[in-house]
Amino acid sequence: MIRLTRATRLGALAIAWAGLPIAAQQTTAANSAAIQQAMDPVGTISQRSENGAVDAAPQRNDVSVVAGKDKSLAKISLTTGFAGGRLIGTLSTPVNTKDDTTQFFTLDGPAEDVQVGLAWKHQWYDTKRFTELKVDLPERTERQDSICKQFNVSPCNGDTDLEKGMKAAGASRADIARTLREFNAVKLVGTNQEPSLFRLIPFHYLSFDGSIGRTERKFFGLPGSEKKDDRPSYSLGASYGRIFESSRVTLGLTAQRKFKEADKARKCTPVPGSPLERCKELPLGQAAMVDSVPLAFEYRALGALFAVSPKLIYDLKRHVAAASLPIYLFPDSTGKLTGGFRVDWEEHKRPVASVFVSSGLD
């Protein structure tokens, strides 16, 4: 999920506003500005839930090490604005545990195991609802000023300044989350209700992504000779979702090709002048090609101290169901959740529990 840029938000407002009569523009200008102000911090809050996942695309250029249940990856991500959304390019390769360095490319070409990915992500909200909402502007301004004075935050031009001030004062994550919810709440004129703007104004999320990878797989042929296979794997996917203040729901469809290595065999050769043998284990035979079309439904929820992201998957090609339940518990120095525990289950297999963590390189 992407944080909508201020320029994009203002552009959406301008388009909606230009289509209104002059009288309507004048009566809704302040109200639209209030909604604009109210929607900004919600994007930040929702973004934190997205960034809790170790495989999420970052909001900026980034170099990181991602440790998961299968293998650890060195990952480079580059982000730029494109066509009203964000374009994210990634390059990843397994971490070299034998040497001090991990190489993406060598003088002979790409590393033995490297993957290149590209994704475009966009989010937007319905501007038609602006004219129907009547936000109590004086009450909201008075409440925000009171909260800023309570925590001695100055200047206090939004929830970002408030959050920084509270962190500097040593406030707990739970207190900060509770105060930000109160700070960003809105009330409608003539009521004491604090409705969710993300329910009143549907907020949408759209993503297209693809990747291609090269892995050099070594194996034994039946005569015992050692061979190599570097057929590429790929993935193409699209997803759509609804975003709320601290949660989101997403439905995605992906077509992908992977390879499953055969069972290993051992080949031994005698050491000249010795009764000892040198042995080597490799898969016996070429890796099997596995095509799948997983349909995934995911729900993400962010609390004050943790986040959860249960996912249900059904493979339309192989007719296999799977599920995963990551629980994010470990924050980094900025308060972003970057690690935790997860349980993965696949039909006809035993559940697997693991610990995952993602940390930026210094």
Q: Return the domain boundaries, the chain.
A: 6-136+186-360
pLDDT attached to residue 57: 35
Task: Report whether 206 contacts 263 (CB < 8 A).
Answer: no
> Residue 243 class from Cβ within 10 Å (0-12 exposed, 13-18 middle, 19+ buried)?
buried
Residue 171: the pLDDT is 87
Overall residue count recorded for the chain in this entry: 362
Contact status, residue 179 vs residue 147, Cβ threshold 8 Å: yes
Looking at residue 98, its pLDDT comes to 54
* The residue to which tokens 């009521």 are assigned: 191
Degrees to nearest 5, angle at CA 191 with 185 and 194: 20
Query: What tens digit of pLDDT does each residue of 50-85 get?
Result: 433 333 333 445 545 555 545 567 778 888 888 788
* Cα atoms in the Cβ-side hemisphere of radius 13 Å centred on 306: 9
Q: What is the DSSP letter of 104?
A: S
Window from 16-20, 77-81, 354-358 with minimum mean pLDDT:
16-20
Topology adopted by domain 6-136+186-360: Porin (2.40.160)
> pLDDT (tens digit, 9 = 90+) per residue, 117-165?
999 999 887 766 655 777 777 888 888 899 999 888 888 888 888 888 8
Q: Which residues make Cβ contacts (< 8 Å) with residue 200, sequence separation at least 6?
A: 129, 133
Dump strand ranges (E) for 185-246. Answer: 203-215, 217-220, 226-229, 233-243
Cβ neighbors of 159 (< 8 A, separation 6 or more) are 40, 41, 44, 180, 183, 184
pTM: 0.66
E-strand ranges in 149-225 read 203-215, 217-220
Instruction: Enumerate residues 6+ apart whose C-beta is below 8 A from 145.
Output: 156
DSSP annotation of 286 reads: P
- Strand partners of residue 354: 342
What pLDDT was estimated at residue 26? 39
Angular region, 268: left φ>0, alpha ψ -120 to 50, beta rest: beta
